[in-house]
Each structure stands twice: as structure tokens, then as C-alpha cells.
């Protein structure tokens, strides 16, 4: 991080609700938004890339279906067989 004598102010626009949510997240992580943005910039320079993979991928129909099935099992809408051990489950598969 830059020392105070070498620091500059940056200004950019961000959605008000997004800023509020980000401030709360970073507060819960023990930092403020300025520190978080400095971390992002430092990591970007270190890696010479964005430090995460930007993606426009959304869950496909198969994944959405699997998620819905898990939620139905968890809520009791779909009854499933229970096993006392992994070995018992394997025996049932054979």
C-alpha cells in the first residue's frame, strides 16, 4: 500500500445500494472499502490481470434442475432412503 505522502484520491461512480452493501461486507471483514479497493488494485498489478475470472455464465437447465431437486429433498417434498453407513449405501447400489 502507498505511504500517505504518495497517496492520491480517486473518484468513480458506483450504484448507491451496491456501495452500501460493499461497505457492510468490508466492515464485517474488518476493513473499509478503501482498503478493499487497494487490495484489489495491488493484486491486479501483482498478477497482471483481474484477480478473479469474470464470467457471464449462468446456471444451465441441468444445474438448475439439480438445485431444485436438492431443495425439494431438504424440504421433505421428496423422500429419500437413508443409510447408516457408506458401506450400506454401496451394498444397495450393487
What is this structure's pTM? 0.54
Domain ranges of the chain: 13-55, 61-93
* Tens of pLDDT, residues 20-68: 999 999 999 999 999 999 999 999 999 999 998 888 778 888 999 999 9
- 8 Å CB contact between 23 and 33: yes
CA 87 to chain centre: 34
Amino acid at each position: 500500500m502507498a505511504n500517505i505522502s504518495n497517496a492520491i484520491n480517486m473518484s468513480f461512480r458506483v450504484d448507491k445500494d451496491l456501495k452500501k452493501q460493499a461497505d457492510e461486507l468490508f466492515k464485517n471483514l474488518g476493513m473499509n472499502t478503501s482498503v478493499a479497493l487497494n487490495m484489489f488494485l495491488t493484486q491486479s498489478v501483482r498478477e497482471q490481470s483481474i484477480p478473479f475470472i469474470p464470467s457471464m455464465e449462468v446456471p444451465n437447465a441441468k444445474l438448475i434442475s439439480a438445485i431444485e431437486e436438492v431443495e425439494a429433498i431438504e424440504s421433505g417434498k421428496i423422500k429419500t432412503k437413508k443409510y447408516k453407513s457408506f458401506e450400506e449405501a454401496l451394498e444397495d447400489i450393487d
